[in-house]
Amino acid sequence: MAKVTDLFYIKVLESMAILPTTNNVNILKYWQTFEGGNAKNNPLNTTYKLTGATDYNTAKVKNYATADDGIKATAKTLLLNYYKPIVKALKENKSLEYWRNNQDIDKSLRTWGTVNFANYLNKPITNNNIPTPPEETPDKKKKIILISALALTLILLAYANKPKLIRYFNR
């Protein structure tokens, strides 16, 4: 299975106007583990037709030329009527527990073709099949470092301009 960064899923969610929470990203990553395969720029194995896409297999899963194409195709597929329960659960930031034994989500996943994920979600929870969160990717760490650096820069800029700020607010 091809390695996909959190950023791929963050962009998929953002392109659907869904908050890219850790929970939502992790659910898409769990889903990917049940997809298998190595379609290029297509971790959830969508069959959405885009210019430049080629068939990966006989089920018409696509290889996409770029990650942006894969993001666009994944988002457009999820926004189809068949997958409304999945999109609703993501918009509401529902936990994996909500997805379990949910008939509407089950039907949507089976329509997508991810029968193994649907079956997994319908198993009774035991100590042997409690999901563990996917590992944090370097992209997430980079994002945290970038946000921290930005915050520090803003603090330093405010401190450097303290006399100007004091004069501005004392008007």
Tens of pLDDT, residues 106-156 = 999 999 998 999 999 988 766 665 555 555 555 555 666 666 666 666 666
Tell the burial category of 17 from Cβ atoms under 10 Å away from its Cβ (0-12, 13-18, 19+). Answer: exposed
Residue-level pLDDT at 71: 96
Residue-level pLDDT at 37: 81
The number of CA neighbours under 13 Å toward the Cβ of 139 is 11
Report d(CA 171, CA 169) in Å as an integer.
6
Which DSSP category does 80 fall into? S
Which DSSP category does 63 fall into? E
Domain definitions of the chain by residue range? 6-121, 138-169
Residue-level pLDDT at 161: 63
Residue-level pLDDT at 150: 66
Positions of the chain with pLDDT under 70: 1-2, 125-171
Residue-level pLDDT at 127: 60
Residue-level pLDDT at 5: 86
Residue-level pLDDT at 139: 57
Residue-level pLDDT at 135: 55
Classified as helix, coil or strand, 109 is helix
Residue-level pLDDT at 123: 82
- CA dist 161 to 149, 158, 164, 167, Å? 18, 5, 5, 10
Residue type, 129: N
Residue-level pLDDT at 124: 74
